[in-house]
Amino acid sequence: MSIQLGKLCSRIIEQHFGEVVRTVVDDLFASIAKPLGQIIRSTGLTKSEVCKSLAILIKFGMAGFQLNKARTLYEYRLHHDRVVMVLRYPRYVHLIQTKFGHESAVLMEELLRSGTQSASHIIVKSMSNVDGKDHNTLALLREKFTALAQEHYIIRAPEPKASDGSAELMELAYDVPNPFVMPELDLRILKELYEGKPVKEPDEDVRWLVNVEQFHIDFRNTIMVSAIERVIDGNAGECMKYLLQLMQERTNPWEAVSNPIALVDLRQRCERRSQNVDMLRYLDQYISVMESNDYVSKFDTKGGGQFTVNVKKIFEQLTWACIENIIVEKYGSKAARIFRVIRLKKYVEQEDIQKEAMVPAKEAKQLTYKLLEENFLQIQTFRKPGGGNAGAPKSFFLFYINQPQIAAMLLELSYKALYNSITRLTHDKTVNKRLIEKSQRLESIVETMKERGESDAYINEILETLTPPEQEILAKVKLRVKSLYSAEIGIDETIFMLKLYQEYQK
């Protein structure tokens, strides 16, 4: 865990849950695990405040608890990765909107906002945000919620169970073999709950939460398909999509290398689900091209050939591409050429770099040492032993690249950039709060006037209450806010890819 990650978690929590919860998060981040008493003493907060903060964090999956080694009391720990995932919530909702439609997106948004909640509560709360309410809307929402569970985008929350040897101490565990099974929900009861009648929820003991793992599998697959589309073409990307579907059915989804997949099975899957004639005709050639790029590896020749998807190697290549793009942006194409030469040669002397990269000696030396200074390169010293009075032993200095170290450094820089982006966004909104609120009030008034059928002249007169200088400032603020939001999405995608690379290297 790093300082930059700690600052980012602190900023995110303060923005969404307030100062008190942030204080508890800062304290948990500084330690691996802490019992309640120590958290109260080190934060200076009351027991009630600390308990409420921990309850909020546990409800949203950002903290966990477990019994200590002596099994006498609970220790709490922060899940910092889940804190950073808050910034990914809009992407989760967008994915559900794309795959399942508006109603499912409303359900997902409500569940993300609630953290952990029963299906009945989420369905009834979502009714107010669904367009075109009628007597079939509740049935539709129940059906959509069931579909999300069947596709593993939501999962039952583990239930508290008595710990072994203690009736007072509890542990979270699953009571059902399949945590994606929906309980029976009576539409009549859901309707009564929506109308505000004092009816007991039929599933109040069954809580649901978002299964982020399934979303991350989809994001990972999208990254791989997009990479193949850029390197080869769209047909190859579609081929890889079906290959990943077969991989998910036959292999643990987070394995570095998939189980063997027969070409016959891939062809049958493509024929059943695709209308792309070109892809079906040249399927063998597309597999051969992907094999030459190390995206897939040949496992056996039986059944028309069996192939494995090497996910670890794909993300290694994507990380190399990310590093090279950063070097091009920061130091130019010549620096990237030097970096590429060292990457291909493994260990290179300074004199060989300028020859291989075809860069003038002085410039090659400057760029090489700049990359060394910024930790994109490492240096290894070898000493040639001298004999007797022959003088000091000669030393050789070889440059090399440590990819895991660079990935960790870029991850730190990404956390820092994300923290700076959020801080700047908060600052701009705070400084221009009065102007933004005034603009929103005017937009609301104008919308109401249009509904009433007021004249355009009167509407323009109302709009003119926002002076030209204010309009100019507002336009600049909106543009900057939009740019910062886009930057946050791009940085989060980089963080996601680098974290996957690190996971596959373990």
Partners of 396 in the beta sheet? 382
**What letter represents residue 454's amino acid?**
E
Token representation of residue 443: 């937009």
DSSP 310: B
CATH fold label, 87-210 = Arc Repressor Mutant, subunit A (1.10.10)
Extents of the domains making up the chain:
3-81, 87-210, 215-309, 314-401, 406-505
Range from 76-85, 168-177, 299-308 carrying the lowest mean pLDDT: 168-177
Return the SS3 of 348: strand
Return the SS3 of 151: coil
pLDDT at site 60? 93
Neighbours of 74 (CB within 10 A): 17
Q: Smallest Cα–Cα separation from 340: which of 396, 328, 410?
A: 328
Token representation of residue 173: 């565990």
CATH number for region 3-81: 1.10.10.10
**Nearest 10 degrees: CA dihedral of 453, 458, 462, 468?**
130
DSSP notation for 44-78 = ---HHHHHHHHHHHHHTTSEEEEE-TTSSSEEEEE
Per-residue pLDDT band at 166 (split at 50, 70, 90): low
Residue 172 host element (H or E): strand 170-173
- For residue range 87-127, what is the model confidence (pLDDT) as tens digits? 999 999 999 999 999 999 999 999 999 989 999 999 988 88
| Rounded mean pLDDT, 365-380 | 92
Exposure string over 293-327, b if 16+ CB within 10 A, otherwise e:
bebbbebeeeeebbbbbbbebbbbbbbbebbbebb
| Rounded mean pLDDT, 480-494 | 91
pLDDT at site 280? 87
% residues pLDDT > 70 (the chain): 96
Q: Smallest Cα–Cα separation from 420: which of 430, 428, 432?
A: 428
CATH number for region 215-309: 1.10.10.10
% residues pLDDT > 90 (the chain): 48
For domain 314-401, the CATH class is mainly alpha
pLDDT at site 167? 60
- Mean pLDDT of the chain, nearest integer: 88
Q: Strand (E) positions, 303-347?
A: 306-309
φ/ψ (deg, to 5) at 310 = -95, 85
Higher per-residue confidence, 329 vs 461: 329
| Surface-to-core class of residue 92, CB atoms within 10 Å of its CB (0-12 exposed, 13-18 middle, 19+ buried) | buried
**Nearest 10 degrees: CA dihedral of 216, 219, 225, 229?**
-160
Range from 3-12, 182-191, 320-329 carrying the lowest mean pLDDT: 182-191
Distance CA 394, CA 408 (A): 34
pLDDT at site 410? 94
- For residue range 184-241, what is the model confidence (pLDDT) as tens digits? 888 888 888 888 888 888 888 889 999 999 999 999 999 999 999 998 888 899 999 9
Asked whether this chain's domains 87-210 and 215-309 adopt the same fold, the reply is yes
Neighbours of 368 (CB within 10 A): 25
Q: Smallest Cα–Cα separation from 136: which of 190, 98, 97, 184?
A: 190
209 Cβ contact partners less than 8 Å away, ≥ 6 residues apart: 61, 111, 115, 116, 154, 155, 156, 157
Give one word for 279, left, alpha or beta, with left for phi > 0 and alpha for psi -120 to 50: alpha
